[in-house]
Amino acid sequence: MQQNKYLRYLSLPAVFGLERTKEILKVNPTAVPQRKEPEFVTLFVFDYNADSVEERKIQKLEECLHFKHNNRITWINMDGLRKADVEELCAQYSVHALLMEDILSINQRPKMDEVDDRLFCLLNMLYYNSENNTVETEQLSIVLGQDFVLSFQEDAHRDVFDPIRNKLKVAKSNVRQRGADYLLYSMLDMVVDNYFLVMEKLGEQIELLEDEVARNSNTKALTKINQLRKELIVLKRNIAPVRELVNGIVRSESELLDDRTTKYFKDVYDHIVQAFDLSENYRDMMMSLQDLYINNVNLRMNEVMKIMAIVTCLLAPATVIGGIFGMNFESVPLLHNRWGFFISVGLMLLIPIWMLRVFKRRGWFNDRL
């Protein structure tokens, strides 16, 4: 009943939740991105064909020119989005100005576009932040050309492409045997696979929450339910348009995509559809969790009411009998009887016992109480 405890339970998580709301709601893709220009930009280049592979970390953009028109496939990954550098690289590989703007934008809806013989994909990689249980997003732009793939991301410290890098070093791997479109497929596949890892983490949170709600349905649990609902909004907002994106690639008739690769994209499509279905299941789970919560709160209320009813019943005969024999009338029966006191106290005990038995017969105690 301390004020402090009350504050700790209620206010802190709520305030925390509010900041998350701000992040989720502040979405304006058309504003000039107030992205903090990164201090430096890292460029990693994989230049490969079936026979050999060259892996280079380059400092100056001009070095990229080196890899053009060499009949090998080039994958240039840019970590950190400095406006000048993005523009220069896009110019080198003749990427349309509109796409360049999309690459530099923030909070874009995932989408796929074909402009001037370039296939463009913009989507978010998702990471699960275990510390404050949020789903973090990082924007990823991929441009596919005839014999190159450009990828742009903001944060150099983590991405989901390490398995691809490892495979690129293996001469017999599929990705080395095939064209740039297969590299695009591998990247999308990795991103979508990572969605499932994030969903697994969210699934664990739902389990834990279900446990907590079943055990003791307090305000903390409700705060967590509301938080998880927000994360599911983030999840769905990212998965739903990726479904369209991959479907767009499957149905695309671009010459950049080899017919043999289509079935691989179809595989990615199957996975993203499953991810979407699963996110729907999650939403249903959350709904029934909230029902469970409300029900538990009601049940506990019910229990409190029953305790009060029982105590009220206990009070009733005592009050009435005590009132009767406490009146100051001159002549009251039993008052001078030797057993009078014991008879009245006996009634005070017997009547509530009888009442409790009636309640029991009516099934009041079948439930939790």
CB closer to a copy of itself out of 31 and 50: 31
Closest CA to 232 of 222, 224, 244: 224
Q: Is 353 in the site for a copy of itself (CB under 8 A)?
A: no
Q: Which two tokens stand for residue 265?
A: 């994209």
Neighbours of 273 (CB within 10 A): 14
* CA dihedral for 217, 220, 222, 224, sign (positive or negative): negative
Q: What is the layout of strands, in order, in the sheet containing 148-153? A: 53-58, 42-48, 73-79, 148-153, 134-144, 118-129, 111-115
Distance of alpha carbon 55 from alpha carbon 53, whole angstroms:
7
> DSSP state, 362?
T
Residues 295-334, interacting with a copy of itself (CB under 8 A): 295, 297-309, 311-316, 318-334
Q: Is 173 in the site for a copy of itself (CB under 8 A)?
A: no
Least distance from a copy of itself to the Cβ atom of residue 130, Å = 17
The correct pick among 87, 138, 193, 258 for binding a copy of itself (CB under 8 A) is 193
The correct pick among 170, 345, 350, 353 for binding a copy of itself (CB under 8 A) is 345
Q: Is 175 in the site for a copy of itself (CB under 8 A)?
A: no
- Concatenate the DSSP letters of all residues of 284-333 into one string: HHHHHHHHHHHHHHHHHHHHHHHHHHHHHHHHHHHHHHHHHHHS--S--T
x/- site string to a copy of itself, residues 106 to 145, per CB under 8 A? Answer: --xx-x-x-x------------------------------
Q: Is 250 in the site for a copy of itself (CB under 8 A)?
A: no
> DSSP state, 81?
-
Residues 142-171, interacting with a copy of itself (CB under 8 A): none
| Cα–Cα separations (whole angstroms), residue 292 to 210, 211, 222, 225, 285 | 9, 11, 11, 11, 10
x/- site string to a copy of itself, residues 204 to 223, per CB under 8 A? Answer: x-xx--xx--xxxxxx--x-
Q: Is 84 in the site for a copy of itself (CB under 8 A)?
A: no
Q: Is 4 in the site for a copy of itself (CB under 8 A)?
A: no
Residues 257-286, interacting with a copy of itself (CB under 8 A): 263-264, 266-267, 270-271, 273-274, 277-278, 281-282, 284-285
The correct pick among 50, 91, 98, 171 for binding a copy of itself (CB under 8 A) is 98
